[in-house]
Amino acid sequence: MFSSEKEALKQLPEASSWPKCFGKEEYDHMELIYYIDRIFIDLPSIPDYWIISRLNKEFKGNASIWYTEMKEVNCRRNWLWGKGKIIKKYSNGTWIWQKTISFENERYSVDRDPYEWCLRQSKRFKAIDPQISTLMRN
């Protein structure tokens, strides 16, 4: 527990170091979600509104327009609500289907880096089934 809000705020990573979400990259929205979830694990006493207030800086381009409009319509909400909206917007059925097809079709070849291939497949697997444990995914 922190003795003051000021002390707790200092523990939050700089907003410039957070992943950005353009809504165009394959996994940028998921990277932002996982990053924020890790903040809540590392700093459980951080209030939701501190995280939500920083999200304006993390969305760029069309994703920023979408987030601003969504926030105007729905007012202030907590992180779980915002996380659900991000997933609904960017992890739709088509996106999950594309990850499933990519996961099933890509085969490893010896001329490629095995680490990169495994990491790419792991991201796809996590996109297909976000509830699966790291142990099961590996």
Model pLDDT for residues 65-118, shown as the tens digit of each residue? 999 898 888 877 889 988 989 988 888 888 888 888 888 888 888 888 988 888
113/83 same-domain check: no
For residues 61 and 103, membership in a common domain is answered with: no
- Domain of residue 45, residue span: 1-91
Q: Of the given ranges (3-12, 14-23, 25-34, 55-64), which has the lowest mean pLDDT? A: 3-12
Q: What is the pLDDT of residue 66?
A: 92
Q: By three-state DSSP, how is residue 22 classified?
A: coil
For residue 74, the one-letter residue type is: N
User: 74 and 124: one domain?
Assistant: no
Residue 138 confidence (pLDDT) above 70: no
Which tens digits make up the pLDDT trace of 30-74? 999 999 999 999 888 888 888 888 888 899 999 999 998 988 888
pLDDT at position 137 is 72
